[in-house]
Each structure stands twice: as structure tokens, then as C-alpha cells.
Amino acid sequence: MKSATRIMISTFGILVGLAGIEHGTGEVLQGSVAPVGIMFPSWPDSAFFRSLNGEPAISLVPNLLVTGILAIGFSLIFAVWSIGFAERKHSGWILALLSVVLLLTGGGVFPPVFGMLIAAAASRIHSASRERLPHAPGGIRPILGKLWPWFFSASLISWLSMVPGIPALDYFFGVHEPALILILLVCMFGFLCLAWISAIERDRWENSIPVV
């Protein structure tokens, strides 16, 4: 089934997977050493990631090499599942579990949080075409469906503006604005939620399911 919800899950599932792989790569490069604590920077000596405090991550594994390998492995699984198996029964729970595992094995902090949002979308993928927005006026729902491409694009641009955008601005142009990072975080979460809501309405609209 090709749907707005399905496109969102696949696209952002890939981004979460890539972000986890990026964290894992930094951890592998640090070698077989113990992290400085449960929370640590994935790229502590990287000038490129200094604007993001070295890309913080969390791990319960007391070895950065093993942590990085696990982060890369589970990130790949998350991306593959988002692309090929999101429509399967209990897929939302599987993606949620993978997000928790990513969080605890060096996959970063924010990527697993976004993974949970993707898992929530996957849990509703089969009912998306019949979803009804509570308390929304009838005229608003079709408008939200039509706005889905814009919300989707805005959420994607917000993500890419954060990474690699923020590190690139700092590394190549010396621009480091903490306020900009906060604004982008709000946009990432806000536009992703709006894109999900509008995707639900888009799918219902395209499938011509009457609301009763």
C-alpha cells in the first residue's frame, strides 16, 4: 500500500537508521575503551560535531567498540524494517522496541525519540485511511490532507538542517547559534507531528472513506 503514512515511515525510518549508524561509527572509531559514563559523546574529538557537543549518546554496554557495533547493527535493522515491513502486524511495537534498544546501545538520544514517533505512526498504518481527527471541523480535514506534502517537506528540511546543516555551518563558516539548534529541534518535532496528522487525513481522503 503506497500511502502518505507509509512514505513518512520509510523516509524517517531511513533517517533514524542513518543517524544511528553515524553515532555508532564515532563510537567504533574510539576503539575498545570504556565510555566516560552512561552518557558520552559519540564524536568527542571531532571538529565537525563540536556544535552538537560531540553527538551525545547513551549506552549500558561498558565498551565503546561493542556499543558502536550494536548501534550500527540495530540502526540497520530499524531502517530495513521501516522500509520493508512497516505494514506487518505489531510492526509499531517492533519499531518501538528497536528505538529503546538504540537508545541504550549508543544510537544517540534524539534519533531513538524520533524512532518512537515513527513506531507510533506504524502502529496506525492500517487504520490511517479511516482515522478521524476528533473535534476537527469537517472543512479542516481535507485542507490538512492537501497540506501533507508541505508538512512532510518542512519536517524533512528541518531534520537535514539539524544534521548535517548545523555542524556544516559551524565547521565551514564558523556559525554557532545555540538558539538556532533549539528552534530546529522544535521544528523537527512540530512539523513531524503535523505531517503525521495530515498524512492520516490524506490517506482517508485519497481512499474516499466516508466519515460516519
CB 159 within 8 A of CB 15: yes
CB 105 within 8 A of CB 74: yes
Using pLDDT thresholds of 50, 70 and 90, give the confidence band for residue 144: confident
Measured between alpha carbons, how far is 43 from 64 in angstroms, rounded to an integer? 11
Using pLDDT thresholds of 50, 70 and 90, give the confidence band for residue 140: confident
C-alpha cell at 124: 496506525
With vertex at residue 59, the alpha carbon angle to CA 22 and CA 122, rounded to the nearest 5 degrees, is: 65
CB 81 within 8 A of CB 13: yes
C-alpha distances in Å from residue 185, one per residue of 33, 81, 116, 119, 197: 31, 25, 16, 19, 19
With vertex at residue 136, the alpha carbon angle to CA 130 and CA 140, rounded to the nearest 5 degrees, is: 90
- What tens digit of pLDDT does each residue of 6-52 get? 999 999 999 999 999 999 999 999 999 999 999 999 999 999 999 99
Question: In the chain, where are the structural domains located?
Answer: 4-206
- Mean pLDDT, all residues of the chain: 89
DSSP 36: S
Q: Does the CA dihedral 187-190-196-197 come out positive or negative?
A: negative
Closest to 134 in 3D by CA, of 199, 197, 194, 196: 197
**Cβ-count burial of 113 within 10 angstroms (0-12 exposed, 13-18 middle, 19+ buried)?**
middle
Is the pLDDT assigned to residue 2 strictly greater than 80? no
| Phi, psi values for residue 171, rounded to 5° | -70, -45
Q: In which residue are the cell numbers 498524512 written?
A: 199
How much is the average pLDDT of 182-201?
A: 92
The overall longest dimension of the chain from CA atoms, in Å, is 60
Measured between alpha carbons, how far is 54 from 94 in angstroms, rounded to an integer? 29
Residue 202 has a pLDDT of 86
| Phi, psi values for residue 40, rounded to 5° | -155, 165
Is the pLDDT assigned to residue 165 strictly greater than 60? yes
Is the pLDDT assigned to residue 210 strictly greater than 50? no
C-alpha cell at 202: 490524506
